[in-house]
């Protein structure tokens, strides 16, 4: 069996949005066409998705909310918010998205595979306990984290969210929980308006929310440098049993909803950086779930770059990519968050050193 699992299913195309809506079925059609071209069935382990149960949805969502989404089943259309809509098949598709990700987590937890990518829709990281938001119905990654803890016996989960938009739903669901470390790098100010560096968690969860809000214009080197500098010490101290990634591709320069400059090379470098963390902290246990990414012409290429890294068919060098970052941008991104997080993490009491092509940055 191949080391990398993949969740893909034509039923994920059944969630239909309005004409012109960014979160269209064409996103997955482009990715699935790429998978056929790269002969994914031979190089990756296919994971058959299943429907999530109501009990599983209730791991993070309220009964009233689950009932509200279930009530849209069979309705031609329903508007949950101004940008979050459903069709007759959306509820079933959303349950399949959750179930597909849970199956991937279960296979990684049992070490049948090392890592996995759930290429599912609708996305999830904006969904709150009792509210749909930002194209999201159920919070796929948050549900996967709770499933891993409550059903698979894992104790600590690290969630990395690199989508261009802040994962407000995931943060709010775990901001009081010290067993889930939520780490987000995102464009700010930008939708949904949350994720400032001073948002660090509440009560017993204080310090277990790490936000890196950055202005538009950051690219491959900056993203990889930021992750390479801050994630390893935090992960080493936190000691996660599993790493989950909310993997959006809307930081690509072609994306209509973002303002970043991350190319396929940057996505590969970020993936390798997190893989190295997983190897050190949790025997490689890493599962990614698709979030945003709305440039249909490039999403397949970016996804392929991530899959090739996960399967060790390519091996990016994060140090080389990070070395090409613009130091001032990296310093701006890190200095505020590190200053705040040093109150909570012993591993940050010593200065961070970041190597660039011609200088070393000390934070």
Catalytic site positions: 126
Residue with structure tokens 């072609």?
254
| Residue 30, H or E segment | helix 26-37
User: Helices marked H in 163-219 — which ranges?
Assistant: 168-174
Task: Estimate the share of the chain in helix, then strand, then coil, as percent rounded to the nearest 5.
Answer: 40, 15, 45
Q: Residue 209 burial by CB count (10 A; 0-12/13-18/19+): exposed, middle or buried? A: buried
CA dihedral 187, 192, 197, 199 (to 10 degrees): -160
Beta carbons of 211 and 235 less than 8 angstroms apart: no
CA dihedral 35, 41, 45, 47 (to 10 degrees): 70
- 24: helix, coil or strand? coil
- 186: helix, coil or strand? strand
- 142: helix, coil or strand? helix
89 vs 13, 29, 253, CA distance in Å? 10, 17, 32
């Amino acid at each position: 069996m191949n080391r990398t699992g993949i969740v893909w299913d034509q039923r994920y195309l059944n969630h239909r949005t309005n004409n012109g809506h960014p979160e269209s079925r064409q996103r997955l059609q482009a990715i699935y066409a790429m998978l056929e071209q790269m002969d994914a069935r031979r190089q990756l382990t296919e994971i058959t998705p299943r429907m999530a149960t109501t009990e599983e949805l209730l791991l993070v969502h309220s009964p009233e909310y689950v009932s509200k989404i279930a009530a849209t089943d069979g309705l031609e259309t329903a508007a949950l918010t101004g940008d979050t809509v459903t069709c007759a098949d959306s509820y079933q598709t959303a349950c399949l998205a959750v179930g597909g990700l849970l199956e991937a987590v279960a296979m990684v937890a049992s070490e049948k595979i090392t890592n996995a990518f759930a290429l599912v829709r609708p996305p999830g990281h904006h969904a709150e306990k009792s509210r749909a938001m930002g194209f999201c119905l159920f919070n796929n990654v948050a549900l996967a984290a709770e499933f891993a803890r409550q059903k698979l016996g894992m104790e600590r989960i690290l969630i990395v969210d690199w989508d261009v938009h802040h994962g407000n739903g995931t943060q709010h669901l775990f901001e009081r929980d010290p067993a889930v470390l939520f780490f987000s790098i995102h464009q700010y100010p930008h939708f949904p308006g949350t994720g400032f560096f001073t948002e660090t968690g509440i009560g017993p969860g204080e310090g277990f929310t790490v936000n890196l809000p950055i202005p538009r214009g950051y690219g491959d080197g900056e993203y990889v440098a930021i992750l390479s500098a801050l994630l390893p010490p935090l992960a080493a101290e936190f000691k996660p049993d599993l790493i989950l990634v909310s993997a959006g591709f809307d930081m690509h320069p072609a994306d209509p909803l973002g303002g970043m400059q991350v190319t396929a090379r940057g996505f590969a470098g970020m993936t390798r950086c997190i893989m190295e963390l997983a190897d050190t902290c949790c025997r490689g246990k890493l599962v990614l779930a698709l979030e945003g990414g709305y440039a249909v012409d490039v999403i397949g290429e970016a996804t392929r770059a991530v899959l090739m890294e996960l399967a060790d068919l390519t091996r990016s060098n994060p140090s080389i990519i990070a070395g090409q970052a613009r130091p001032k941008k990296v310093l701006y991104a890190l200095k505020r968050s590190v200053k705040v997080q040093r109150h909570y993490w012993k591993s940050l009491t010593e200065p961070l050193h970041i190597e660039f092509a011609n200088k070393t940055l000390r934070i």
